[in-house]
Amino acid sequence: MQTHEISHRFLNYFKSTGHTQVASASLILEDPNLLFVNAGMVQFKPYFLGDVPPPYPRATSVQKCVRTGDIDEVGKTTRHNTFFQMAGNFSFGDYFKADAIKHAWTLITSSQADGGYGLDPDRLWATVYEDDDEALALWQEIAGLPAERIQRRDMVDNYWSMGVPGPSGPCSEIYFDRGPEHGAEGGPVADESRYLEIWNLVFMQHLRGEGHGKTDFPILGELPAKSIDTGMGIERVATLLQGVDNVYETDLVRPVIGKAEEMSGRRYGSGNQVDDVRFRVIADHARSGMMLIADGVTPGNEARGYVLRRLLRRIVRSVRLLGVTEPVLGEFAAVVRDTMSPSYPELATDFPRIESVMRKEEETFLATLASGSKIFDLAAEQIKADGRALLPGDKAFQLHDTYGFPIDLTLEMAAEKGLSVDEDGFRALMAEQRARAKADAASRKTGHGDQSVYRELLAQGPTEFVGYESLSAEATVRGLIRDGQRISGAAEGDIVEVVLDRTPLYAESGGQESDAGTITGLGVELEVLDVQKVARKLWVHQVRVRGGEITEGQHVEANVDPEWRVGARQGHSGTHVVHAALREVLGPTALQSGSYNKPGYLRLDFAWSSALSPETRSEIEEVSNLAVRKDLPVRVVYTDMGGAQELGAVALFGETYDETVRVVEIGGPWSRELCGGTHVEHSSQIGPITLLGESSVGSGSRRLEAYVGMDAMRYLAKERALVQNLAAMLKVPDVEVPGRVEALIERLRTAEKELEKLRAGQLLSSAGTLADKAEDVNGTSLVALQVPDGVGGGDLRSLAVEVRNRLGSRPGVVALFSADGDKVAFVVATTSAARDNGIAAGKLVPSFAAAIEARGGGKPDLAQGGGANAGGIGEAVNALRRALDGS
């Protein structure tokens, strides 16, 4: 049975039993505890926590997941994967243990002809939590499992929580016995390679308290509404139903390995275990990388971007170790697209952008490999010159951490040069880095704060937002909050949170700042400072009490500042226009990856790998303003996600949408985006759009900034005044200012070059004087001194060579130092006669390096570098003198 069919049957079964099918969430959700979605229940956490009332009593989904904690173990075993699909069924206070067990057993044991998976009941085992007698009895009653095929396990294995205070409970796992050829008898407690876990049923019935780890927390009591959260591993079931040994041999993974075999000429499973690891790394990471890029992640040096970069670079590294040197990521991307797009069509529709991101990262990494190889070669030469044969662990770590140079390649290249690597030292430094990262992540892990005060208010119903139709609304104060606690009233000068039953004030979301405005009532006036959504349903207004006293239950009028709203509408509609213009000029792959807008200003981040030329920026600005001039109609359409996709509406990366979505059109199909922001009614109301600039915000991501409306006019007026002032100073017409400025700059550069020549000539003219000052140290003429401050490395080198030439045929060493603040530049040169006596410039550097905190080296005839302690130059000269004297 193909993997897509396994997913299809799961969803069909649970839909037939009254579950609402919910689409997979993005791998990127706003959760402080997660880098990526790593379980099927993540998108349902607000329902389990009680932050938001569930819109349905039971649900089912096939969720895409990424877990990256064991990246380094991927490939070494067949059990570790970073990307996987988790099928699940969920009950929010509806059914509980009996029905959860019944549904799971029915689906996996029903015949394939009846829509099930047809697994042999006699090969199925179950585990239960150590004191969960109820679950054990239900397995016997419902499934007919004999007692010997139900095993009890402790809290580490069979108790679940989110890792933070909140819902928790015992779980029950279903295992399939793959047979004696896969391991020892005795059930899951004996061998989890033979007994493969395929499904975990979590019985969410307890409330856990503060604590750490899987066991160190108290159980505070029973939940008022017991729920169900299950997860069935799609890839694991595919392994069983396709009769293969592991997930790497299933229909969605093996084709990637096949492409790697085709490119390398080597064979997976031929007995070369090292090669097999590389094949598995390629197959796993290609899928994970594709799915992350599809959800808006771009390679970078932090957080999600760093994880993606590691995944893609591990593919390139593995392929190189298989003997392939040409670019490969585009080839693997095409295979993943072809195999995975039946379940994830965005991999096909967005393929040009995804492939572009992967190819750009590969180009960057190949360049990194080239530069890393040079660093390695220099280190290897120095190690050999010093008579050693071990590359230090800190050097291997520097290559890995600073240059992204994989340790496997370091080991391979070291072996080629007859060197070994201090792997223990390297791994110790890696462990320290992981420990720091883990501690940092733990310090940032905020868990879930006390949301009970908002839950109480949300239980009264969501806030009614009327801001699309009106700038004012009569309302009732539903709640007042300060420091997370309900209060009955607030007086002048207080800053509190106000929850109304209805409001016209836009809450910050979708990149748009919240509205400014006021809330007034009998004898009271509140200034609105900020508006935020809680659980996407409750509008929370942060206010300052300007006068009077506000109390719960009071009738008030909420008003949006009309000037603010005009500017806000211009800013948000302007963002849509610039986005559409960007895609018109650059193509459909230039998709927005983030935005921010406020009255008069917009900022738009988009996926693109190179800087835009001035001509391209001008074209984007012109297309944007043409759209404004055309007075395009703006229309809002409410539909479901399927209808939005049929319209071709653009959904933004990482955003979460409700079942009913709002599509904003500007000029019909020219600009169609899912958006909850406030907008103009015709594009002409945006006013002029002026691009301020374009910049990089990370690898593969660029940023455009612009002013709109009156702010654009004011900006242009300032620019005009600046040009007019320059024209007056230069005494030329406005149109001649650029040419005149260019001419002045050229004259300045010419003058600077002439001055540089004069200064260099004066410096070199002192060579004879310096040579005459040479002192005899143990038969060697030494010129060691500090030259005037600010002399750069190039000039210092030229002077040292000239002084050396003036020493003639005698043994001589020239060491010149120049300070620039705390920094030091130095050059050491030796004559031929000195080198004949065994004196090498490169070997003299260590004698004085500590004095000036130096780094650098070179060849026997010439060495140069820099230091960080100019105050140590005198000691460096003395140290060099002692080295020559042999003392």
CA distance 175 to 196: 5
Q: Which two tokens stand for residue 754?
A: 């002439």
Residue 54's CATH number: 3.30.930.10
Residue 701's CATH number: 3.30.980.10
Beta strand spans in 67-193 (E): 83-91, 124-129, 150-153, 159-161, 166-177
Instruction: Please tell me the least confidently modeled range out of 158-172, 195-209, 711-725.
Output: 158-172
- Give the structural domain span for 35: 3-245
Residue 271 has phi, psi (to 5 degrees) of 110, -10
The model's pLDDT over 167-189, given as tens digits with 9 standing for 90+, comes to 899 999 999 999 999 999 999 99
The model's pLDDT over 511-526, given as tens digits with 9 standing for 90+, comes to 999 999 999 999 999 9
Residue with more model confidence, 98 or 222:
98
Residue 805's CATH number: 3.10.310.40
Please say whether the beta carbons of 42 and 229 come within 8 A.
Answer: no
At 329 the pLDDT is 95
The model's pLDDT over 337-350, given as tens digits with 9 standing for 90+, comes to 999 999 999 999 89
CA distance 715 to 709: 10
Tell me: pLDDT of 279 over 90: yes
Q: Find out whether 579 is annotated in a ligand binding site.
A: no
Please say whether the beta carbons of 726 and 600 come within 8 A.
Answer: no
Q: Find out whether 285 is annotated in a ligand binding site.
A: no
Q: Find out whether 679 is annotated in a ligand binding site.
A: yes
Q: Which of 508, 535, 560 is the last residue of a domain?
A: 560
CA distance 344 to 288: 13
Shared domain for 582 and 675, answered yes or no, is yes
Shared domain for 633 and 497, answered yes or no, is no
Shared domain for 399 and 311, answered yes or no, is no
Shared domain for 64 and 185, answered yes or no, is yes
How many C-beta neighbours within 10 Å does residue 41 have? 24
The model's pLDDT over 56-70, given as tens digits with 9 standing for 90+, comes to 999 999 999 999 877
Shared domain for 672 and 804, answered yes or no, is no
Please say whether the beta carbons of 410 and 391 come within 8 A.
Answer: yes
Which ranges of 211-345 would DSSP assign to H, the alpha helix?
Answer: 234-241, 254-264, 273-294, 303-321, 329-340
Average pLDDT, integer, range 543-547? 94
Tell me: pLDDT of 158 over 90: yes
Average pLDDT, integer, range 139-148? 95
Tell me: pLDDT of 760 over 70: no
Q: Which two tokens stand for residue 322?
A: 């298989």
Average pLDDT, integer, range 605-625? 92
- Does residue 23 lie within any of the structural domains? yes
User: With 0-12 CB in 10 A as exposed, 13-18 as middle and 19+ as buried, what is 262?
Assistant: exposed
At 547 the pLDDT is 93
Shared domain for 64 and 190, answered yes or no, is yes
At 438 the pLDDT is 52
- Does residue 459 lie within any of the structural domains? no
Tell me: pLDDT of 856 over 70: no
Shared domain for 32 and 74, answered yes or no, is yes
At 322, the amino acid letter reads L
Report percent pLDDT > 70 for the chain.
Answer: 95
Q: How far is CA 114 from CA 107, 118, 149, 193, 492, in A?
A: 9, 9, 26, 30, 70
Q: Which of 210, 245, 280 is the last residue of a domain?
A: 245
> How many domains does the structure of the chain reveal?
7
The pTM (predicted TM-score) of the whole model is: 0.66
- Does residue 813 lie within any of the structural domains? yes
Shared domain for 299 and 314, answered yes or no, is yes
Shared domain for 231 and 284, answered yes or no, is no
Element (H, E) at 359: helix 351-385
At 654 the pLDDT is 52
pLDDT level of residue 444 (50, 70, 90 thresholds): very low
DSSP character at residue 381: H
CA distance 652 to 679: 17
Tell me: pLDDT of 447 over 50: no
At 446 the pLDDT is 36
Average pLDDT, integer, range 217-234? 91
Q: Which two tokens stand for residue 287?
A: 């899928």
User: With 0-12 CB in 10 A as exposed, 13-18 as middle and 19+ as buried, what is 367?
Assistant: exposed
Average pLDDT, integer, range 652-681? 85
CA distance 296 to 653: 5
Average pLDDT, integer, range 82-97? 95
Shared domain for 783 and 652, answered yes or no, is no
Report percent pLDDT > 90 for the chain.
Answer: 59
Q: Find out whether 576 is annotated in a ligand binding site.
A: yes
The model's pLDDT over 564-582, given as tens digits with 9 standing for 90+, comes to 999 999 999 999 999 999 9
Q: How far is CA 238 from CA 244, 355, 439, in A?
A: 8, 27, 37
Tell me how far apart the 2 most distant CA atoms of the chain are, in Å.
104
CA distance 532 to 717: 35
Q: How would DSSP label each residue in 605-658?
A: EEE-SSPPPHHHHHHHHHHHHHHHHTT-BEEEEEEEHHHHHHHTPBPPTT----
- Does residue 723 lie within any of the structural domains? no
Tell me: pLDDT of 622 over 90: yes
Q: Which residues contact 469 (CB under 8 A, 6 or more apart)?
A: none
Q: Which two tokens stand for residue 833?
A: 């006669």
Give me the chain's average pLDDT, please.
89
Beta strand spans in 460-534 (E): 464-465, 472-482, 485-487, 489-491, 495-500, 502-503, 517-521, 524-534
At 442 the pLDDT is 45
Q: Which of 320, 338, 370 is the last residue of a domain?
A: 370
- Does residue 594 lie within any of the structural domains? yes
Residue with more model confidence, 657 or 355:
355
Instruction: Please tell me the least confidently modeled range out of 115-124, 704-713, 846-855.
Output: 846-855
At 857 the pLDDT is 67
- Does residue 698 lie within any of the structural domains? yes
Q: What is the dihedral of CA 182, 185, 186, 188, to 10 degrees?
A: 10
Q: Does the CA dihedral 353-512-699-315 come out positive or negative? A: negative
Tell me: pLDDT of 44 over 70: yes
Average pLDDT, integer, range 146-163? 92
Average pLDDT, integer, range 600-620? 92
- Does residue 457 lie within any of the structural domains? no
At 211 the pLDDT is 84
Shared domain for 589 and 538, answered yes or no, is no
- Does residue 458 lie within any of the structural domains? no
Task: Write down the residue that tokens 């709640």 correspond to.
Answer: 479
Shared domain for 186 and 274, answered yes or no, is no
